[in-house]
Amino acid sequence: MEDLIAGVKEIMKNNDVTAAAAKIKEYLEKERNTPLNIAITGESGAGKSSFVNAFRGITDEDDERAAPTGVTETTSEVTAYPHQNYPNVTLWDLPGIGTTKFPAKEYLELVGFEKFDFFIIISDTRFRENDVKLAQEIQRMEKKFYFVRSKIDNDINAERRKRDFSKEGVLTKIKENCIHGLTQLGIKSPQVFLVSTFELHLCDFYLLHETLERDLDELKKYALLSAMPNIDLEIISKKKEAFKHRIPLFATLCAAGAAVPFPGLSSDTDLAVLAVAVKDYVLGFGLDIPSLKRLSSSTGVPYNDLCAVINSPLAAAEITSELLLKVIIAQSSDTTELTTAEEVFTLIPIIGMPVAMGISFTRIYKFLNVNLSQLTEDARRVFRRAVGINTSV
Ligand SMILES: Nc1nc2c(ncn2[C@@H]2O[C@H](COP(=O)(O)OP(=O)(O)O)[C@@H](O)[C@H]2O)c(=O)[nH]1
Ligand SMILES: [Mg+2]
């Protein structure tokens, strides 16, 4: 992103708006086409398919695209589950290495290890020799792996009856046991994340994301963040920041459209660019109709209750040019929420755009900024409603 901004600024020195817009477009397209392939492996019954579904916000009762859970593995099939809103992000449900009877090296070749960005090795008990051999082979192939200990809700429930029960105590003990076991089997400083796929917002799922983020390059990091389920308010804020960073890019694209030859007559292309940005927000926050329906069915909170906490006209709606125009008109008379002109004008030198483009840029910038904020608030309220936190907080 830094390189892109520097490049655009350089081009703008020659006032070549079209070339600058082309460069931005190329970057944004590359970003949304960056593949991220996540391999999920572990023994049969460990919770792989459930993890794949939970990550994608799908339950297997109501969606034919769900990975079937609780099914005994009999084949060595590798199944791809593309993320429904971000098809460039794919989770791969791999057979347990034990079910294939192959040694680790052959197993990795069989599943086509080259295409994976990293491996998640899941176990619902302590990790075993098979998991460790696989991890060591993954390392030899210069790929990354992370251990996930699943079904933590079961462990907590089992311990709850004990008199000195403390949730933190249970979690610490499980993690220490896993790390100790893996170290003894020969893994140096293993990373173990405790997860309950039924309640991703509990335990370590956010830590897993933070760790993955650190290990991925910029483009893959953005792909992961876009596809991440909204497990907590932190993820929602991270998504907002990422989208906000891109607002000057989208505003420049629109402004560039307006700068060529008849300013003001390019509203069709402007709207198309705007739609791309707005769709990112809506899909990224899971505020599109199919995502809200999935959230409703996975949490049991009625769809209408989720919609009831939504304020943005862009959420739970189809993003069409007509809708965008309607919202633009409705908001143009509302000055209360607009960003200050000062904030926008400090951005113009960053991109290095001619001042003549600044007016269109300013309008688009404000529009995206205001609506991103509204959609972020909606995402927060929907999250709170879905996990049962009082929405007035
Ligand atoms: N309590 C609980 N059960 C889980 C969890 N994850 C998976 N399961 C259950 O464990 C069983 C096996 O899960 P599945 O995802 O099919 O495992 P796979 O064979 O590794 O794909 C299913 O009955 C799941 O419902 C979890 O986090 N908590
Ligand atoms: Mg399975």
Query: Which tens digit of pLDDT belongs to each residue from 238-284?
Result: 999 999 999 989 888 887 765 554 444 445 567 788 889 999 999 99
Mind listing the pLDDT tens digit for each residue in 13-31?
777 888 888 899 899 999 9
Q: Which atom of ligand 1 is nearest to the CA of 50?
A: 15
Angle between helices 341-351 and 233-259 (to 10 degrees): 70
Q: Which two tokens stand for residue 349?
A: 């030198």
Mind listing the pLDDT tens digit for each residue in 327-351?
887 887 655 444 455 455 555 555 5
Burial (Cβ within 10 Å: 0-12, 13-18, ≥19) of residue 262: exposed
- Helix or strand holding residue 174 (H, E): helix 167-184
Mind listing the pLDDT tens digit for each residue in 211-234?
999 999 999 999 999 999 999 999
Closest ligand, as measured to the CA of 155? 1
What pLDDT is attached to residue 336?
46
User: What average pLDDT score do residues 357-363 get?
Assistant: 69
* Residue 96 scores a pLDDT above 60: yes
The residue with greater pLDDT, 353 or 146, is 146
User: What average pLDDT score do residues 32-46 get?
Assistant: 95
The residue with greater pLDDT, 256 or 299, is 299
The residue with greater pLDDT, 291 or 264, is 291
Residues that place a CB less than 5 A from ion ligand 2: 49
User: What average pLDDT score do residues 37-53 get?
Assistant: 94
User: What average pLDDT score do residues 199-204 get?
Assistant: 88
Name residue, tokens 């000062």: 342
What pLDDT is attached to residue 324?
86
**Residue of 69, 72, 93, 128 best suited for mutating to test ligand 1, as the one with most atoms within 8 Å of CB:** 69
* CA 111 – CA 133 distance, rounded (Å): 16
364: left (phi over 0), alpha (psi -120 to 50) or beta: alpha
User: How close is the Cα of 45 to the center of ligand 2, in Å?
Assistant: 7
Q: Which two tokens stand for residue 127?
A: 């990790």
Q: Which fold has domain 34-227?
A: Rossmann fold (3.40.50)
The residue whose C-alpha atom lies closest to atom 9 belonging to ligand 1 is 47
113 CB within 6 A, ligand 1: no
Domain boundaries, the chain: 2-32+231-387, 34-227
Mind listing the pLDDT tens digit for each residue in 179-201?
999 999 999 889 999 999 988 88
The residue with greater pLDDT, 363 or 178, is 178
**Which whole-number Å values give the CA distances from 193 to 72, 181, 185, 196, 232, in the listed order?**
25, 14, 18, 10, 16
Q: Distance between alpha carbon 353 and the CA centroid of its chain, in Å? A: 31
User: How close is the Cα of 189 to the center of ligand 2, in Å?
Assistant: 28
What pLDDT is attached to residue 77?
83
* Residue 393 scores a pLDDT above 60: no
What pLDDT is attached to residue 263?
40
100: left (phi over 0), alpha (psi -120 to 50) or beta: alpha
Percent of the chain with pLDDT over 70: 87
